[in-house]
Amino acid sequence: MNPPNTITLEAPARIGPNAVLQLIATLKSRGFGRRVESLFAAAAVPDWLMSPPVDMIDETGVARLHRTVRGALTEEDAQDVMAEAGRRTADYLLANRIPKPAQTLLRFLPARLAAEILVRAIRANAWTFAGSARFTAKAGSPTVFTLQGNPLCSGEIAAAPVCAWHAAVFERLFQVLVSPRCRARETHCEAAGDPFCRFEVAWR
């Protein structure tokens, strides 16, 4: 007798909860509190308001939420909200995930060396923000990050880059740990028709 056919289901890719928690906080602080319930309902994640996630969450829900917010707000408001949510996410990491002695050491190192060390740390923890995307990183000025198959803009069509959340996370971490002169920008975006999302962080 032949063994029965079996199907192995892959676990869904996951992203850290701050991609949701800091977005809630930002929407409320920016005066969009009355719209939060409708936005989360439209993204099919209303439970995240009643019971905010504390562990890694399915990237598809996060992606729907980010796309819903970008689609419901003006382009300027959406960029501002996503950027602030990204900065808040980085601030959370600085306060709770990156050891203070390591932060102190990075601030005393030359910017290029600090960037190399920070890039290694980001690469090691990319699973928390990249989800199923293929992530690459190259240190320098500019430091270059790429996400191929970025779930947070999957299926979106835009005339310009939309991944302000990722850009803001990178910028804040580099401003605090490498140089306050650091600035991040998204030079390519899958939503705008590019083959990957590409971010440059420079301090010159």
pLDDT in tens, 71-93: 999 999 999 999 999 999 999 99
Q: What are phi and psi of 111, to 5 degrees?
A: -55, -45
Q: What are phi and psi of 73, to 5 degrees?
A: -100, 165
Does the pTM surpass 0.95? The reply is no
Compute the C-alpha angle 169/173/176, nearest 5°.
Answer: 140
pLDDT score, position 8: 41
pLDDT score, position 107: 96
The answer to whether 63 and 197 are in contact (CB under 8 A) is: no
Domain boundaries, the chain: 14-202
DSSP state of 55: S
pLDDT score, position 122: 97
Q: Which helix (H) or strand (E) holds 127?
A: helix 127-130
User: For the chain, what is the mean pLDDT?
Assistant: 94
- Give the chain's residues under pLDDT 50: 1-2, 6-9
Fold of 14-202: H-NOX domain (3.90.1520)
pLDDT score, position 204: 81
